[in-house]
């Protein structure tokens, strides 16, 4: 699933291609994608309006129009936006399209999503999912005191808490796995077993994991980073102590970790 760095890259692309462009036509062909709204509302809200900015919060995108209307986009697991020629045929797994004109040139923005877990909602006010999001690490940073308070209220494993978008927006399986390794915290540790010093270490580690992935992208282009410390490396040597990395399923997601140098905290 795309995480904060992936969605930020999409935001930058959309900002470049959409701001100042006027919508000539719009279509959403998938009611599941538009839930709880309707596909027909998509065109009704967009056509004739001009895009002003593209904002990201966590894994959500918000495309703002000049009359106060907005389009919310969540990429789900397999979603993505593609800009093509206005007369290009439908793309494979295409679910929606927005045809725009800018500076006398027309182009078409297509949303593709093979597994259809994404969302595309047009309206005139912020949706509940957007308003429920926690602080965004790139926009507001991470308050380690607030993070500690979130841990203290929960018995769940710290890895699951970090992936809760109400706690920190944009952190998913990859960033949580990498950050906990950097912070030397076992992902199975209960949240209410952690101390303020642990919350502070995790907050710094999340920012470090985000910065590292952006740095990897700048070196390798727009593709995803593939030089993780421990994510997806279960069974291989820990890059810090050399012990064999283990894996555990937490919240339905697999987490690689080191039993030797990531300490399991207990109450």
- Rounded to the nearest 10 degrees, what angle do helices 144-152 and 196-220 cross at? 120
Q: Among residues 17, 38, 30, which one has the least CA distance to residue 96?
A: 30
List residues with catalytic annotation.
Answer: 2-3, 59, 253
Q: Which of 248, 262, 241 is nearest to 183 (CA)?
A: 262
Rounded to the nearest 10 degrees, the angle between the axes of helix 196-220 and helix 4-18 is 50
DSSP, residue by residue, 184-212:
TB-TTSBGGG--HHHHHHHHHHHHHHHHH
* Non-local CB neighbours of 182 within 8 Å, separated by 6+ positions: 205, 208, 209, 229
């Amino acid at each position: 699933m795309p995480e904060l760095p992936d969605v930020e890259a999409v935001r930058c692309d959309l900002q470049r291609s959409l701001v100042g462009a006027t919508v000539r036509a719009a279509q959403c062909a998938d009611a599941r994608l538009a839930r709880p709204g309707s596909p027909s509302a998509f065109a009704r809200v967009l056509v004739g309006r001009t895009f002003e900015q593209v904002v990201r919060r966590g894994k959500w995108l918000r495309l703002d129009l000049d009359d106060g209307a907005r389009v919310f986009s969540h990429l789900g697991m397999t979603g993505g936006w593609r800009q093509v020629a206005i007369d290009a045929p439908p793309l494979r797994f295409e679910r929606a399209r927005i045809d725009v004109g800018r500076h006398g040139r027309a182009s078409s923005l297509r949303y593709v999503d093979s597994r259809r877990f994404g969302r595309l909602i047009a309206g005139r006010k912020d949706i509940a999912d957007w308003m429920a999001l926690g602080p965004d690490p790139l926009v507001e940073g991470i308050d380690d005191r607030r993070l500690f308070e979130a841990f203290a209220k929960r018995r769940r494993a710290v890895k699951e808490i970090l992936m809760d978008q109400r706690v920190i927006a944009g952190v998913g399986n990859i960033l949580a796995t990498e950050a906990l390794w950097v912070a030397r915290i076992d992902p199975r540790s209960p949240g209410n077993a952690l101390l303020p010093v642990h919350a502070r270490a995790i907050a710094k580690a999340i920012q470090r994991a985000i910065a590292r992935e952006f740095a990897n992208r700048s070196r390798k282009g727009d593709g995803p980073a593939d030089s993780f410390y421990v994510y997806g490396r279960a069974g291989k040597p820990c890059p810090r102590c050399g012990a064999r990395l283990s894996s555990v399923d937490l919240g339905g997601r697999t987490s690689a970790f080191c039993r030797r140098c990531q300490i399991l905290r207990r109450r």
